[in-house]
Amino acid sequence: MNAADEVMDICLLAGEIMLTYGAETYRVEETLERMARAAGFTNVHCFTTTTGIFLSFEERKGKEDLMQMVRIDDRMQDLNKVTEVNQVSREFTSGELSVEEAHERLESIYHSPVNYPIWLIHLAAGVAGSGFSYLFGGGLGDLLPAFIAAIAASVALVEFERYLKVRFAAELAAAFLGGSAAIFLVFIGLGFNLDQIIIGSLMPLVPGVPLTNAVRDLLSGDLLAGMSRGVEALMTSLSIASGIALSISLFI
């Protein structure tokens, strides 16, 4: 295997990790171009959309250009992996890492589990939900029901995503279950402000990463990626709204 092929592999692996776990498009393009240039190749071009990466460069003058693409199927949120890949690319560009070391580091990032255990993520969703229910005008007595409902929504989201292949269906189901849990808790007398409890329990489902990235992508001129990310965020928000609308019209 020659050097150009290996550099192509680590570049695309880095790009795949970054794009899958929620980096902005311009960051992916810039990182890949920098890494390829640092390895000594010329005529480097990278084109990235939300669902795929194209990378091409020239090994030396007179030889044919290399060109490869990867398709990105899943889009998740794990900013820790983005940060770590950023670190690897920085060290690779400044010459501290060899190609093999960079490949090893990227492989271990790719296969490493999520930074925090899943029970902690559910707990964090509960804390975030109850905090926001107070900020949106709930009382101190609404903290506990919002906590429980937010945990229910978060658990439902993770479990449904594991079994359902259809996008946005998991968000709809999670919003439905979170809203139903909130309505049930208020019905048995725990908590008073139903609206604030429901809002709080749904806040952890808000697609914060795609929304922010959509703005950033549109501004840096990646119009295609920005539009598609924006639509993704909009669809997620709409499915959350339909889920909660369903539970409200069923139970109230």
Partner 1 sequence: MNLLIESVLTFAAIIGFGIIFSVPRRALLLGGCIGVVTWLVLQTGTAIGASSVIATVMASLTAATIAHLLAKKIRIPVTTLSIPGILPLVPGSRAYFTMLSFVEGEYIQGLEYGVETMLQAGAIAAGLVLALSIFSFGKGIGNRYETGH
Q: Write phi, then psi, for 53 (nearest 5 degrees).
A: -130, 130
Amino acid at position 150, single letter: A
Structure tokens at 67: 């060109």
Q: Are 179 and 198 in contact (CB under 8 A)?
A: yes
What DSSP assignment string belongs to 142-170? GHHHHHHHHHHHHHHHHHHHHH--STTHH
C-beta of 4 vs 106, nearer to partner 1:
106
Shortest spacing between CB 59 and partner 1, in angstroms? 29
Binding residues for partner 1, per CB under 8 A? 22-24, 27, 77-84, 86-87, 90, 114-116, 120-121, 123-132, 134-137, 140, 154, 195-196, 198-199, 202-204, 206, 208-209, 211-213, 215-216, 219, 221, 237, 241, 244-245, 248-249
Report, in this order, helix, strand and coil percent for the chain, each rounded to 5: 70, 10, 20
What letter does residue 205 receive in the DSSP assignment? G
- Report the residue number, 116 or 187, with the smaller CB distance to partner 1: 116
Give min distance, CB of 187 to partner 1, in A.
18
Closest CB 139 distance from partner 1, rounded Å: 11
Residue whose CB is less far from partner 1, 11 or 143? 143
The residue (of 35 and 244) whose beta carbon lies closer to partner 1 is 244
Q: How many whole angstroms separate alpha carbon 82 and alpha carbon 114?
A: 12
Q: Which is nearer to partner 1, 37 or 90 (CB)?
A: 90
Return the number of the residue (119 or 163) whose C-beta is nearest partner 1.
119
The one-character DSSP state at 69 is E
For the CB of residue 123, give the shortest distance to partner 1 in the complex, in Å. Answer: 8
Shortest distance in whole angstroms from residue 61 CB to partner 1: 27
- Looking at beta carbons only, is 40 or 139 nearer to partner 1? 139
Q: What tokens were used for 79? A: 């900013």
Q: How far is the CB of 35 from partner 1 (least distance, A)?
A: 16
CA 10/CA 99 separation, integer angstroms:
8
User: What minimum distance in Å lies between the beta carbon of 176 and partner 1?
Assistant: 13
Residue type (1 letter), 186: V
Task: Give dist(CA 166, CA 164) in Å, integer.
Answer: 6
Q: Would the CA dihedral through 35, 41, 44, 47 be positive or negative? A: negative
SS3 (DSSP) at 58: strand
